[in-house]
Amino acid sequence: MRDPVFVSGPFPQYTAAALCREIQGRAEVRCVVTEAGLVVDCCVVRSIPFMDGAFIDALQKRRYTPATLDGQPIRVEYTFLPHPTATGISTLDGPAFLVGRCPSAAASS
């Protein structure tokens, strides 16, 4: 299997409420990267106060080259770990903050 590759889209931006409260931490968001490279079906698994909407909004605006299996595009589930810092910049793990993957249930049906 070839992993999806980040093509374009925003990084999460701090919300005013999170900035005012100097919120930091590590979130966990699971999404599906579709055969067309769209990010859909995101859900927050580990929350950071005042940031969940910003994470989901940024992720769903991103585009990837799709994952492939035997040369065919497939849907895959990814776990993203956005990490806001006190400077107001959200740093992200790994290339385009892809942390882990597994074929989604839709890919096996």
Helix H or strand E segment including 79: strand 76-80
Q: Which CATH superfamily is domain 5-108 in?
A: TonB (3.30.2420.10)
Q: Which amino acid is it at 46?
A: R
Instruction: Name the residue among 60, 57, 7 with its Cα closest to residue 38.
Output: 60
Question: Which is higher by pLDDT, 6 or 22?
Answer: 6
Name every residue whose Cβ is closer than 8 Å to that of residue 65 and which is 6 or more positions away in sequence.
Answer: 4, 5, 7, 37
Q: What does the pLDDT look like over 35-76, one tens digit per residue?
A: 999 999 999 999 999 999 999 999 999 999 999 999 999 999
| Nearest one of 22, 6, 4, 20 to 73, comparing CA atoms | 4
